[in-house]
Structure formats: structure tokens, C-alpha cells
Amino acid sequence: MTTLTYLIPVALFLGGMGLVAFIWALRSGQYEDLDGAAERILIEDDVAPRR
Amino acid sequence: MTCCAPGAEAAADLLTTTLSPDELRLASRQLGDGTSQVELSVPAVHCAACIATIEGSLARLPEVTGARVNLSTRRVTVKWRGDKLPPIVETLSRIGYPPHLFQDGEVGKDRTFAELIRAVAIAGFASGNIMLLSVAVWSGADGATRDLFHLISALIALPTLAFSGAIFYRSAWSALRHGRMNMDVPIAVGITLAYAMSLYETLTHGPHAYFDGVVSLLFFLLIGRTLDHMMRDRARAAVIGLARLAPRGALVIDEAGRRDYRDLAEIAAGDRLLITAGERIPVDGRVEDGASDIDASLVTGESRPQAVAGGGMVRAGTLNLTGPLTVVATAPASDSFLAEMMRMMEAAEGGRTRYRRIADRVSALYAPVVHLTAFITFLGWLAINGDWHQAMTIAIAVLIITCPCALGLAVPIVQVVAGRRLFEHGVMVKDGSAMERLAEADTTVFDKTGTLTLGRPRLVNADDIATELMPIAAELAAHSRHPLSQAIAREATSNGAAPVFADLIEKPGFGIEGRTQGSTWRLGRASWASEGQAADESGTVLARDGRIVANFRFDDVLRQGAAKTIARLKQEGRLVEMLSGDAEPACRATAEKLAIENYAAGLLPAGKVERLEELAREGRKVLFVGDGLNDAPALGAAHVSIAPATAADVGRNAADFVFLRESLEAVPLAIEVSRRAGRLIRQNIALALVYNAIAVPIAILGYVTPLIAAIAMSGSSILVIANALRLLAGSRAPATSVEAEKRPSSLEPAAAS
């Protein structure tokens, strides 16, 4: 029973951290261009794009 | 011709407006500290290489401080420092991504979507944690531990209900206030009563609390709602990304001869406007000076360009093809043809406002039944043993078990899957009700110019023209923007040696003239080319020193897949009609080629609406497919409507579906997918009802525990989702026809011959 007194707050705190992290990511615009994010991994930063 | 190199333009580019620096400046906004920002739509972006190319090229411009491509919305945001406008449009056009502006009204973040996502996140967090505690209760925790777990669950559930549940409360409230019933009313009542009862149970140390049921119900329903919103949002973003065809402003010449680029709203009747070749005419007006050809295909449906000169009237939205014009505005933009069409469209708003969505119709029946069942259960148990508390508990268990989780998901999940399937084939769906209405349609009415045909002429008698004359005609034609000239230039093969012309002059409204080896060649209007000798002859000719040597005949190119589409619709037993604003002979030719028996030519916009209303009175549900400005009222009046991506802005906004690829086969595809979606929706509703038929008696008899409720709820939801996914099965089959659609049909319009 005593373990519950700290395990439950710990569980809720960790879950809450996840929620806060998600909302932060949402606010900072990381979900605004999902297609672009998927493609950008293919761009090589070191080589300047040439055309 | 402000930004694009002449000659580099394809014929299709005539449909898009050129974007002048003035327009760009008007669209940009100041960010403070000397930085300006503009957002442009670049529909051609589609991969990582595109992103790198665009961002790289723009970043190399010295004034530009930042460029960021958004691939989902196909837009690029450019920031620059200083007053000087960097050559953004030129740079983008040069590297092959011609930019467009989009309407101001649509800019800005989507608040609803952000709220939905936040609500899903919170409901997800809450249901996860409460479920964790519930598993402990289900597996035997009791006494103080159980009460503690219930209390913590109640504390987590309360803010969830307030935030995530608010979406349902608001919607239910607005429905009730207007005396209507929607799916959210039973949801709102159910979750509120369940929460209140569980809280009472917790405080009185009772064994059963439904907090897990309440929040996971919210979680499931919010997922469905978010998916639904995403589908619509994606379609909207893609439609907005298309080229805007109405100009944003015009170059106004004042009394003193100064030129000033003014916003469309600031143009008044009596202003003198300068309209260069290739620009769209912004307001209705009278030509004061200059001569040119006007392409009115998007406005009236007439496929042939018309010559205008001093004194002639021009309509807003038409395209000035060959020469610069000075036009005196006869009406401000708010009174122009375009605005009139919009007013007519609003007045005609027919089938879609009367239409009630399947989900709403079901819930209008379902909600009273559910509430009545719960109430009777309550009375029944009260009569049997007179225990208020037990009767209440069981009645609420009935409400929870019937809470339309599966029913709430049944419709949107199918429409999301169907919408995605259509999206993959280049068809955008505005909303779910459009699919329901399309599944009902039994009559298809087409517009001609721009819909069944591409509104782009094609030379039909190239083989009859002497081989030595063709290169000459092609060489002359290559120097003109007139659609007929471009058709000649396209048809010419490069095997003949073309002479070099000196003194090439284009006479707007007449044709083009050039001199070589001592003789004067003219390509254009017969009466002009023959220097008055053949004044009564019409058509386009090539003349040498005033003597006609070749006659050119043209035909409108049929849209790819048009013949197949018509044949398929007729085979399915639908009535097919064609309504056009074009002249009778052109209509007859198209109707004969496509085997359409019923057609009407020379119709005004009001005439089209009248015909649609007549069909509606006969009890027919009409699908209208059209693109022009003159089709906009009809697109609004029809039961359901489809427009191609090249349609006028107003029409595109009025249509329920927009197809991005060239082939007309998008129409039967949309019908087929909508029909299948309709069947799956009915199956899903049946599944949800069967589930209720089994679960409700158990609940009424008082055997439902929170564990059974949780299992039943997730079980039925998964069943419904799995059924909806069946729509994706078999969607890979028509891969070959998809490939064919991607090819530009200007190369080989097979259906036309």
C-alpha cells in the first residue's frame, strides 16, 4: 500500500510529461508539414543543392 | 508578359495568370524590423529534391533571409529584408515551380484542427492512466485501495470531460438550441450522467465506477472526428493550392497619365485600366484603345476567341490574349459579372442545404429510442424493488452501453477511407455529405467547354495542307499567343525547313504578318489575310501576298477519357445531358462524337440552373460537372457537383468534388467509390445496431459491469473500423489507368479521333 503513495504520482507525472511534450511539439509547429518532414530526411545538408 | 519568357510557355500556361511584382507586393506583409514576408502557393512541389531546389535557389538571392517550403500545403514562405522586392517569382518560374497567390481568407492556422488534436491527446492520456487503475480494480482491488483508485480516476476524468468533452457539449447544445438532434446529444447526456453516477459511487464506496468508459469513449470518438477533419482539411489545402484565376488588382492610369497598381476593391467605374496580353480582365468594361482577342471560354463557355477593338465590351474574368488594351471600367468589381454569378450561386443553393446526413437521420431516430429505453429501465427497476440507487445504476449502464461509439465512428471512418482513396486518384472531396449525395445521383449533366472538352483548339486538317506550307505557318504561328496559332505550332513537325521571317508583326484581332524572300505572308482571319479580296470568307487561313494558299480547320480537344466516361455512365443506366453556353454547331459536333442524345446549346447561366431545377422537379437527383464561371450557379444548384482543377475559382469553391488530373474518368471513379462507401456505411450502421440488440438486454437485466462495457465498446468500434478498411482492398487494381491519367493528353487525345 505504501508503494502506491509514490508509484501513482510517478506514473501520473510521467504520463503528464508525455502529454506536455506532445502539446509543446504541436505548438512549435512540428505537425504542420508532416509530408515535408518525411521528405526532408532525404536532403543532404552538406552538399549545397545545385541545379 | 511580365515574368515568363515567351516561347517557354506551354499552352496550358495560358490558363494561369501571370503574377506581377505589384501583385506580390500587395500580398506581402510587414513583419517589423524591415522584414517582409509572403506566402505563395507552388502546386508543382512534390518531393525532397523540389524542397531543396526551391529553398536553395531562394536563399541565394541576396535580399532573402529565409525560405521554407511546406510540402503538405504546397506553399513556400519567403522572408526578405529591405524595400526592394527580390525576384521571387522569376526565380521560382525559372527553376520550374511557377508560384500563385491564394485568397487571403484561407490563410492562417486551422484552429479547429489544433483544438481537436489537443483534445485527442488529453483524452488519450486520461484514458491510458484511468485504464491502468481500472485494470487493478478489475483484478480484485477492493476496500480503501479501490476507493483511492476511483477517486484518482475521477480527478483525472474531470478536466478531460471539461476540455475534450467540450467539443461534444458545444455541438449538442447548438443542435438542441435549433430544435434538432445530432449524434452528440446522446453522447453528451451519456458521458455526463455516467460521470455523475460514478462520482456518487466513489463517494459512497460503491464497487462500480465508469470513469474508464467515459474517457475511452471520448478518446475513440475524438479520433473519428479528427480523422474526418483531416480529410476535409487536406482536400481544402489542395484546392486552395491551385492557381487563382481572378486577378488581384489592375494597373490604373489616372488623369495625369500616372500608372498605379490598385487593389481590385479600389477600382471604381470610370477608371482607365491597362491590360497587357496574357492578363485576365478584372472588371466589366468598355475597350477604349487597342485591339486584341479575348478568350471567354471560362466565362461564357464559348470555345472560339473573339476579336475586340475600340468600343467593344469585355467581361470580368475573360483572358486578354494577343494585344494590350486600355479598358474603361463600367462597373466596380462588386457589380461585375463575377459577382453576379456569385449572387446567383447563393440564391440557387439547392439540394445540399436540404440534405440531411445519414448520421444525423439515424441519430434523430436513435437518440430518443435510447433515452426512452434507459428511462423505462429506470421505471421498471423502480417498480420491481423500489431501490432508487439500483434503478439509477442500471439505467445509466444502459445509456453507456448504447452510447453510440460504433455508430459515431461508423460513418466518418468509412468516409475518411473513401476520401483517402479518391485523394490517391487525384480527386478531392469537400466533405462527407458530398459522397452520400453522389451515391444517390441518377442523372449526370455535363458542361461542354472545359469539362467534356479542354477548351483548347486542335488542328484537324494538318494532313490536307501542303508540306511546304506547314513549316511556314508554324513559324508564323509560333510568335503568337493566340490559341489557334498555338494549335498550328503544336501540330507542325520539325522536318520542314522554316524560312526566317523579317518584320514579324502581330495584328491583334486579325493575325500575324511576316516578310521573307520578297513576299508577304499572313496567317489569320481570312478577310484580313486576303487583303479584303475574300471578305465573306470566315476561318483561319495562310495567305501569300494576299492570295489564300491554305485553310485551317480546328476542333476542340476532347478531355481524356470523356468518351469512356459517357459510355460507362450510359451503360449504368444513367441519364446523360450536356448543357453549354457555346454555339450550336460546336455543341452538336461534341455531342455526336460522345453519343450524347440530350444537349442544349447557347444557354445563359440562368438557363442551366432552370434545366437543373426542372430535372429536380421530375424527382431526379442531378450530378453536375462543370468548370466555367457561367457554371457556378449550376454547380451550386445541383444535388451534387464536380469541377476540374482548371475551373474558375468560384466554380471550384462551389463544387463538392474537384479532380486534379486531366482525365474525366475521375467522375465515374468518384461515383463508384461513393456508392461503395454508402454500402459500407449502411453495413456499419447495421453492425452497430446488431451490437446494441445484443448488449442492451444484458444491460437492462442489470448484468453489465464496467469491464463488460469497456470490452463491448472497444470490440464494436474495432469491428466497424475493420469493415471500413475493406474499401481499401482492391484499390490497387486500376494502377494502369492511373499511370495513363498522369500523362498529358495533349500528345495523343485518343478519344477525340
Tell me the ipTM for this assembly. 0.78
Dist. CA B175–CA B178, nearest whole Å? 5
Q: What is the pLDDT of residue B242?
A: 60
Residue B126 has pLDDT above 90, yes or no: yes
Helix (H, G, I), strand (E, B) or coil at A23: helix
Is the Cβ–Cβ distance between B602 and B570 less than 8 Å? no
Q: Which residues of A touch B73 (CB under 8 A)?
A: 33
B144 to chain A: closest CA residue: A1
Indicate yes or no: CB of A11 within 8 angstroms of CB of B56.
Answer: no
Clarify whether residues B502 and B648 are in a common domain.
no
Edge-to-edge strands, sheet with B29-32: B29-32, B35-41, B75-81, B64-70
* Residue B632, domain member (yes or no): yes
Does B293 lie in the same domain as B271?
yes
- Cell 444517390 maps to which residue? B440
* Residue B62 within a domain: yes
Q: Which of B69, B99, B129 is the last residue of a domain?
A: B99
Closest CA to B602 of B623, B583, B575, B627: B583
Domain, as residue range, for B436: 424-455+558-674
Mean pLDDT of B183-195: 85
Tell me: do B494 and B581 sit in the same domain: no
**Both B535 and B584 in a single domain?**
no
Residue ranges of alpha helices (H) inside B431-573 are: 432-440, 469-477, 483-491, 526-529, 562-571
Do B563 and B449 share a domain, yes or no? yes
Distance, in Å, from the CA atom of B744 to the CA atom of B753, rounded to the nearest integer, reads: 17
Q: What is the pLDDT of residue B354?
A: 65
B502 has which bridge partners?
B515
Does one domain contain both B583 and B437?
A: yes
Do B252 and B22 meet the contact criterion of CB atoms below 8 Å apart? no
Q: How many angstroms from the chain centroid is the CA of residue B380? A: 53
The runs of H, that is alpha helices, within B386-509 are: 388-402, 405-424, 432-440, 469-477, 483-491
Beta carbon pairs, A and B, within 8 Å: 65
pLDDT score for B220: 83
Q: What is the pLDDT of residues B280-322, one digit of tens each?
A: 888 888 888 888 888 877 777 777 777 888 888 888 878 888 7
Give me the percent of chain B exceeding a pLDDT of 70. Answer: 87
Give residue B744's pLDDT: 38
Query: Tens of pLDDT along B241-250?
Result: 565 566 677 8
Q: Give the Cα separation of B396 and B730 in Å (integer).
A: 43
The answer to whether residue B380 sits within a structural domain is no
Q: Confidence class of residue B536 from pLDDT cuts 50, 70 and 90?
A: low
Q: DSSP letters along B177-225, please?
A: HTT---THHHHHHHHHHHHHHHHHHHHTT-S---HHHHHHHHHHHHHHH
- The answer to whether residues B406 and B691 touch, using CB atoms and an 8 Å cutoff, is yes
Q: Is B586 found in the same domain as B447?
A: yes
Task: State the sign of the Cα–Cα–Cα–Cα dihedral B558, B562, B566, B567.
Answer: positive
Contact B734, B234 (CB under 8 A): no
Q: Which of A15-19, A36-40, B368-372 has the highest mean pLDDT?
A: A15-19
- Smallest Cβ–Cβ distance between A1 and the set B69, B95, B145 belongs to B145
Q: Let me know whether B526 and B580 are in one domain.
A: no
How many CA atoms lie less than 13 Å away from B540 in the CB half-sphere? 29
What total of structural domains would you count in chain B? 4
C-alpha cell at B557: 480537344
Mean pLDDT, residues B247-268: 77
Q: Which DSSP category does B728 fall into?
A: G
B444 and B575 inside one domain:
yes
Residues of chain A with Cβ-Cβ distance to B69 below 8 Å are 36
Greatest CA separation for chain B: 115
The residue from B534, B552, B570 where one domain ends is B552
Q: Pick from B51, B133, B145: which is nearest to A39 by CB? A: B51
Active-site annotation holder among B447, B555, B556, B656: B447
CB B363, CB B406: distance < 8 Å: no
Of B188-192, B241-245, B652-656, minimum mean pLDDT range: B241-245
* Residue B200 CB coordination number (10 Å): 14
Predicted confidence (pLDDT) per residue in B616-644, tens digit: 888 888 899 988 778 888 888 888 899 88
Helix (H) or strand (E) holding B371: helix B358-385
Chain B residues with CB under 8 Å of A46 CB are none
3-state secondary structure B142-167: CCHHHHHHHHHHHHHHHHHHHHCCHH
* Lowest-confidence segment of B148-157, B477-486, B573-582 by average pLDDT: B477-486
pLDDT band at B498 (very low <50, low <70, confident <90, very high): low
The neighbour count for residue B127, using CB atoms within 10 Å, is 26
Q: What is the pLDDT of residue B352?
A: 58
Domain of B32, CATH number, reads 3.30.70.100
How far apart are alpha carbons B709 and B210 in whole angstroms?
9
Q: Which of B552, B584, B609 is the last residue of a domain?
A: B552
Mean pLDDT of chain B: 79
Q: Buried b / exposed e across B555-588, counting CB within 10 Å, b at 16+?
A: bbbbbbbbbbbbebbbeeebbbbbbbbbeeebbe
B389: pLDDT strictly greater than 90: no
B143 — alpha (psi -120 to 50), left (phi > 0) or beta? Answer: left
pLDDT bracket for residue B158 (50, 70, 90)? very high
Who among A11, A40, A48 is closest to B129 (CB)?
Answer: A11
Cβ-based contacts of B96 with chain A (< 8 Å): none
B114 part of contact set with chain A, CB < 8 Å: yes
| Terminal CA-CA length for chain B | 34
B585 and B473 in a common domain: no
Per-residue confidence (pLDDT) for residue B156, from 0 to 100: 92
CB within 8 Å of chain A, chain B residues 134-173? 145, 148, 152, 156
pLDDT of residue A17 exceeding 90 = yes
Judged by CB atoms within 8 Å, which residues 715-734 of B form the interface with A? none
pLDDT tens-digit series, residues B314-344? 888 788 887 788 888 888 777 777 777 777 7
Query: What is the structure's pLDDT at B751?
Result: 36
B630 and B666 inside one domain: yes
What gap in Å lies between CA B283 and CA B488, rounded to an integer? 31
Would the CB atoms of B48 and A42 count as touching at under 8 Å?
yes
Say whether B549 sits in a helix, a strand or coil: strand
Q: What is the pLDDT of residue B734?
A: 43
- The CATH number covering residue B562 comes to 3.40.50.1000
pLDDT greater than 50 at residue B6: no
Q: Sort B378 into a burial class: Cβ within 10 Å, 0-12 / 13-18 / 19+.
A: buried
B261: CATH: 2.70.150.10
In the stretch 76-105 of chain B, residues with CB closer than 8 A to chain A read 95
Strands lying side by side in the sheet with B540-544 = B502-507, B511-516, B519-525, B540-544, B547-552
Q: Measure CB to CB from residue B71 to each of A31, A33, A49 and give the nearest one.
A: A33
- Name the burial class of residue A8, with classes exposed (0-12), middle (13-18) and buried (19+) by CB atoms within 10 angstroms of its CB: middle
For residue B192, being part of any structural domain is answered with no
CA–CA separation, B270 and B253 (whole Å): 11
Q: Is the residue at B203 inside a domain?
A: no
DSSP strands (E only) in B82-144: none
Query: Which residues of chain B from 505 to 534 reach within 8 Å of chain A, CB to CB?
Result: none
Edge-first strand order for the sheet with B319-320 is B306-308, B292-295, B319-320
Residue that wins the pLDDT comparison between B535 and B384: B384
Query: What is the C-alpha separation between A1 and B33, in angstroms, rounded?
Result: 61
From A23-27, B225-229, B531-535, the region with the lowest mean pLDDT:
B531-535
What is the predicted pLDDT for the residue at B739? 38
Count CA atoms closer than 13 A to B6's CA, side-chain side: 11
Contact A51 B70 (CB under 8 A): no
Which pLDDT value is given to residue A34? 79
Evaluate whether B82 touches B60 at the Cβ level (below 8 Å): no
Once rounded to an integer, what is the mean pLDDT over residues B105-131?
Answer: 80
pLDDT in tens, B415-473: 888 888 888 788 888 777 888 888 888 889 988 888 888 877 777 777 777 777 777 77
Least confident of B207-211, B488-492, B611-615: B488-492
- Domain assignment present for residue B157? The answer is no
Do residues B449 and B468 both lie within one domain? Answer: no
Segment B376-399 shows an average pLDDT of 87
- What grid cell was written down for B398? 444502459
Answer whether B79's CB lies under 8 Å from B35's CB: yes
Any idea what the CATH number is for the domain that residue B513 is in? 3.40.1110.10
**Which residues on B lie below 8 Å from A32 (Cβ)?**
70, 72, 109
Indicate the DSSP class of residue B463. Answer: G
* Torsion sign (Cα): B261, B265, B271, B277: positive
Q: Would you state the pLDDT for residue B163?
A: 92
Q: Is A26 close to B73, i.e. CB distance below 8 A?
A: no
Question: Residue B382 — pLDDT band, cuts 50, 70, 90?
Answer: very high
Closest CA to B109 of B98, B117, B101, B99: B117
Position B745 in a domain: no
| C-alpha closest to that of B35 among B63, B74, B75, B55 | B63
What residues form DSSP beta bridges with B523?
B512, B542
More confident residue, B494 or A40: A40
Q: Is residue B161 part of a domain?
A: no
DSSP assignment letter at B89: H
pLDDT tops 80 at residue B752: no
Residue B123: pLDDT over 90: yes
Cβ separation of B53 and A49 shorter than 8 Å? yes
Q: What is the SS3 assignment for B747?
A: coil
How far apart, in whole angstroms, are the C-alpha atoms of residue B612 and residue B511? 40
Residue numbers in A near B95 (CB within 8 A):
51
Q: Is B447 in the active site?
A: yes
B543-556 confidence digits (pLDDT tens) = 888 778 788 877 77
Helix (H, G, I), strand (E, B) or coil at B547: strand
3-state secondary structure B279-333: CECCCCEEEEECCEEEECCCCCCCCCCEEECCCCEECCCCEECCCCEEEEECCCH
The alpha-carbon gap from A34 to the nearest alpha carbon of chain B, in Å, equals 7
